[in-house]
Chains A and B, each alone.
Chain A
Amino acid sequence: MKPSPLRGTAVTARVGLALGVAIAVCFLTGLISHFIQHPQPWFFWPTRPVWLYRLTQGLHVISGIAAIPLLVVKLWSVWPKLFERPILGGLVRQLERLSILVLVASMFFQLSTGLLNTAQWYYFQFFFTTAHYAMAWVAFGALVVHIGVKLPVIRRALGEPLDDAAAGGSVGPSRRSVLVGTGLAVALATVVTAGQTVPWLRKLSVLAPRSGEGPQGVPVNRSAIAAGVIRRAKSPDYRLTVTHGSTTRLFTIADLAAMPQVTHQLPIACVEGWSANAEWTGVVLADLLAAVGASPDSDVRMISLEPPGPYSRTVLPARHARDSQTLIALKLNGQILDLDHGYPCRLIAPSRPGVLQTKWLARIEVVPA
């Protein structure tokens, strides 16, 4: 079988460049999401624009999905090299081949686990977030090493014309048509999935894990049944506790509803790549914190009715806690909050991952400085 004349560095370098850009966007937006969820003293994440996290995490999943056709074509363009002799060669060649082995295996790992996570299919038996994060460094590191090794080849290939003459044959695909076809496949992959975060694509995104529908017009990631909160959330004895040192205030739902109500349009943006804009109505968190005399420079811990688990309690940084658009929401799109959206009340803050917008709030604690 003669290898296709379309294969070669002219195609490999150009598809590789697009793949490199997609991976860089995916890696950087993934790091942003990681550091919002695991804050470091040096990390700064703004509250404006309110859709910033929606944008970065939407890009994370879109660029990851776009990388799938790019990786397929990139590997097609170099596949015959797999069988080139000598298989092992000298030490430098072995190291180079090892770095490519690590690169391709880690890329498969990242794209496959990421795609499965968007559909909540945890077929693999390891914890997704920590494994995906660790392997992201391996994949990105191997990519940077690969670029370092191949830089002269890449530079030469990008500087040369696509060289259609090498494609041979009077009529048939040219290298240009390989690139155009790859672009079409990337566009198609984006269109059939991105509607879960880009509303105008919703009807076309036939393979998106979420249609965008849900109670009160917003999808749900974790239901009240899964969280095991129904009895406590519906209890007439429900009180929201707000504490600051020795000062504690208890609020019934009626107390909260009697406070000044504010309505804001804020997106809810999930780490899994879906997002939706919605109208949230409730009490400004800063007003509740003022009721217990908290400083605007204090971080705030949000504790759910949910039994202890990875996301049953989260810390809201002071910058978000004092923001005038951060609400303890009682209503969603004009209706009393659905149980699956966090009834009796939930946190909704601008530019934060959905997983940190704590639902079924039981307790708000001002964290001592």
Chain B
Amino acid sequence: MTAAHDEDDGGDATPFQQPGDGLMVVRIVLLVAGLAAGLYGAWLLWEFPVVIIVRIAVWAGVGLALHDFVFAPLCAALGFTGRKLIRGRWWTPVTVAGLCTVVLGLLAIPVFAKPGLRPDNLTVLNRDYPLGLWVSIAVVWACVPIYYVIVRRLPVRQYEAVEREGADDVQGQPPPV
């Protein structure tokens, strides 16, 4: 996620001054305090030998690049394709199950093949992680049809229908007086 994850629209940076915004003092305090904390961290990093600083920077940079240019596009492509194949009420539980699967996969990385295992200490990494991962993923996906059945049995609530209407849904306007 490189330097573009701002939520303002358009090409300019978030406007720093907004008319009538009484939060200016709070914002300045946050910016100064944040800068001070960040610079302190940078100074602590600066104390490392250059080779270690490079390794730290590479670790952080590779994580960032993997997310922005591998993980996120893959998720977007999967979402785009999945949306074409899976319609209606199935899509919501499928996306939540997908998110849960991704999270389980990330948490399994350091334990799945037990890369940190040392033969002298069998109290660390002492579970069957492949079994745990597959069972937990199976439980997550088993919840998808259960959710679907429950939602199908529930009556469609009025506010749901209203909330899904776009701003251009203008039927049923009261007659002009």
Contact = CB atoms under 8 A, between A and B. Distances in A.
Interface string A124-158: 11110011011111111111111111111101010
A142 B12 CA distance: 20
A122 interface: yes
A153 B96 contact: no
Given A83-B4, A207-B104, A93 B61 contact: no
B161 to A, nearest CB: 8
A244 B29 CA distance: 50
Interface string B89-125: 1011001100110111011111100011010110111
Nearest to B29: A148
Contacts, number: 320
Interface string B52-80: 10011001110110011000100110011
Contacts of B39: 141
Nearest to B28: A148
A192 B107 CA distance: 9
Contacts of B132: 192, 206-207
A112 B7 contact: no
A113 B29 CA distance: 30
A238 to B, nearest CB: 21
B124 to A, nearest CB: 6
Contact of A170 (B2, B38, B164): B164
Contact of B110 (A75, A104, A116, A340): A116
Given A133-B44, A206-B135, A145 B34 contact: yes
A4 B121 contact: no
Nearest to A148: B30
Contacts of A83: 4
Q: How large is the interface on A (under 10, 10 to 19, 20 to 34, 35 or more residues)?
A: 35 or more
Contact of A151 (B5, B26, B125): B26
Per DSSP, chain A at the interface is helix
The 3 closest A-B pairs by CB, nearest first: A97-B3, A206-B132, A141-B38
Contacts of A369: none
B89 A141 contact: no
Contact of A65 (B15, B35, B107): B107
Interface in A172-227: 172-174, 177, 180-182, 184-185, 188-189, 192-193, 206-211, 213-215, 219-223, 225-226
B33 interface: yes
A192 B110 CA distance: 14
A168 interface: yes
Given A116-B110, A223-B118, 11 more contacts: A9-B7, A75-B1, A83-B4, A121-B110, A137-B38, A142-B38, A146-B34, A164-B164, A168-B164, A206-B127, A207-B133
Per DSSP, chain B at the interface is helix
A145 B107 contact: no
A73 B103 CA distance: 10
B176 interface: no
Given A86-B11, A155-B23, A140 B72 contact: no
A68 interface: yes
Interface of B: 1-8, 11-16, 18, 21, 23, 26-31, 33-42, 44-45, 48, 52, 55-56, 59-61, 63-64, 67-68, 72, 75-76, 79-80, 88-89, 91-92, 95-96, 99-100, 102-104, 106-111, 115-116, 118, 120-121, 123-127, 129, 131-133, 135-136, 140, 163-167
25 contacts: A75-B5, A76-B75, A79-B72, A92-B12, A97-B3, A98-B3, A105-B63, A108-B64, A109-B63, A119-B124, A130-B48, A134-B48, A137-B38, A145-B31, A148-B28, A149-B13, A149-B27, A152-B14, A155-B23, A184-B100, A189-B103, A207-B127, A211-B123, A219-B123, A220-B124
Contacts of A87: 4
Interface of A: 1, 4, 9, 12-13, 65, 68-69, 72-73, 75-76, 78-79, 81-87, 89-90, 92-102, 104-106, 108-109, 112-113, 115-116, 118-127, 130-131, 133-153, 155, 157, 164-174, 177, 180-182, 184-185, 188-189, 192-193, 206-211, 213-215, 219-223, 225-226, 340
